[in-house]
Amino acid sequence: MPVRIALLAWVGACSSGSRPPFADLRADVDRDGIVSGRDGADERAEDQWTSARGALVLANIDDDLGRCSGRSAIPDTEIDRCHDAENEVVDGDADRADLAALAVTAWDDAPSDARGFVRCVPAERCRLFRLDRDVPTVFGANARLDRAALRAGVALGLEATDLVRDPADWDGLLDVILRVETGGSESEDRVQFRVAPFVLNHHLQAPERVMAGDISGTPEATYRADLARAATEAGIAEPMVTLFAYINDQWTQDHFEAAWSSVPGPDGPHDMTVLLRTPHVDYFDVPSSPLRRAGRIVFESLRGPNVAGVQAFLPGGTEDQQTLNSLGNLEVVPPYEFERRAYPFGRMLIGMTDALAPDPVFLELLQAQGVQPRIALDTSWLSVGHVDETLSFVPVDSPRGWAVVVADVGLALALFEDWVAAGHGDAELFTGLSWLDLDELPGSYSATTTVSSVLDDPEVMAASDAAEVEIANQLAVLEREAGIQEAELIRVPSLHFRSVGASVAYLPDTANLVELGPGHVAVADPHGPVIDGEDGLRRAIVQAFAPRGITVHFVEDWDGYHRLNGDAHCGSNVIRARPEEQDWWKATE
């Protein structure tokens, strides 16, 4: 919504010929959404942005008129450049609302030779518009305000043309400078702005839209139907969104990560959704599309009014690095306080080591926002290497407000051993299902086994023992960085085996869940053994979540996801509401 501007005339006591030029530029420096007039609350310390005080501007990189949608012919290296700040026009009322308001305060009796100039520095990072005309017009570097304009006062709008990507190149600060000349003298006034960062979503934010790839196969269709049902039962009003997916790439979680950006407005914060495209370089796709094609949905399908798309990647990179670039490897530890430090928007959680990490340009983009410090976890032992394979976060009624869902090998082994002791060693699991034969694709072999056979499988036991140690190391990092305690864990049964030389989930991965709002999660159907008339793994999973008041919705994902080394979270993505009463500019005070 546009910021209101008060243009206050300045009336001098002396004659126009004897006083110096009057230059007074105003913006929303106190961040109340209103630009005040002369001697108002916005006058003090307007030329030096600080965490406590200073004007803010959005990176105007959404597409309010939808002119960029469906631009499939644009190459990857240019597709992110089609947005509202690419042109020199205001694309309708919605685009005007994305501009930061400024006012050149009226000089009521400006002399006939008075003239004014307004510029933004650095010029390549910003653009000014005159808003006091029927049609807003760009205010170029050489444009001049004449006597009439200075006497009347001028309403201006400012847009930033990009986000901060690397602070070494640009720190996000913009100076708008007004210079007024008359009678051989001149005066200047300056206001400093900061471009708003994006803030990655976390699982305490209410889900608004649940998404999955529109893959034509029966397994994927079954998964989508189950996920849609779970979202409806969880009370999410909007129907599940199916996204066109390229070359049958059903891994919707990997294609983009959702965030938000915000500035103050007169009726509350003015927000913009920001979608980050995966920097995954695809070595198996067409040469004209260096990045994983499915990530183009950010720009071709999702970018639009109040929805921006961003990409940042280093061409090339190693093949081993690419799985870490998929965005199932980017999660957010929800907000918390620990050791007298507050993280009001949480912290990024990324699988990486000193030896192997995601795209450095993408990591720099994330770090440059400055609001969600990073926690690194070692996921190098995992075949896919994503943090969402072993850990997730759910809102709960507790002092912290959330709990960690963790894959627990010990719990699974205890269950299986108890079932054997109770005479259920011959009970089948994975009945009628099959594993893919990676050596003989598209071949497969039966997955059906028994409780006793699992415990007797040396490969499963060895991989599970190793996974137990690695997951304990991950929890130790969360304890050190966030103070996580045992009482804040929801442990769910997990076993591992090795695939393509590294560890993957053997049981369908419950920790790889879809958070659907307080009290609801969607997880993979475990296809466990029937024990006393019901699926024993289902019962254990329900019992793990029940004390926290969380309902479990099971979704079928074996054929389309699990046997391809992924589960429920991997096939989905969620757009979440901006957290209420959390303004990044207040959190930095």
Average pLDDT for residues 27-42, to the nearest whole number?
88
Structure tokens that stand for 551 in this block: 């309902």
Residue 2 reports pLDDT greater than 50: no
Distance CA 569, CA 329 (A): 11
Q: What pLDDT score does 20 carry?
A: 84
Give all domains of the chain, ordered by start, each with its CATH number.
Answer: 4-60+99-195 (2.60.40), 199-587 (3.75.10.10)
- For 284, what's the count of Cα atoms within 13 Å in the CB-facing half-sphere? 6
pLDDT at 4 over 70: no
Q: For residues 94 and 197, is the Cβ–Cβ distance under 8 A?
A: no
Residue 527: name the closest of 449, 456, 463 by CA: 449
**Distance of CA 520 to CAs 275, 345, 549, 553, Å?**
24, 22, 9, 7
Beta bridge partners of 523: 554
Q: Tell me the C-alpha distance between 158 and 138, whole Å.
A: 10
| DSSP state letters, 117-134 | EEEEESGGGEEEEE-SSS
Burial (CB count <10 Å: 0-12, 13-18, 19+), residue 119: middle
User: What average pLDDT does range 114-137 have in this prediction?
Assistant: 94
- Those residues whose C-beta lies under 8 Å from the C-beta of residue 438, and which sit 6 or more positions away, are 499, 500
Q: Helices 536-545 and 409-421: crossing angle, nearest 10°?
A: 130
Q: Give residue 283's pLDDT.
A: 60
Unique residue bearing structure tokens 């205001």: 90
- In angstroms, the Cα distances linking 262 to 114, 199, 207, 271, 578 are 37, 9, 18, 4, 9
Mean pLDDT of the chain: 92
- Cβ(190)–Cβ(140) below 8 Å: no
Average pLDDT score over residue span 177-205: 96
Any alpha helices (H) in 432-568, and if so which ranges? 451-455, 458-482, 536-545
Q: What are phi and psi of 365, to 5 degrees?
A: -60, -45
d(CA 546, CA 539): 10
pLDDT value of position 289: 63
Q: What is the mean pLDDT of residues 36-41?
A: 80
User: Which of 88, 97, 93 shows the shortest CA–CA distance to 65?
Assistant: 93
- pLDDT of amino acid 485: 97
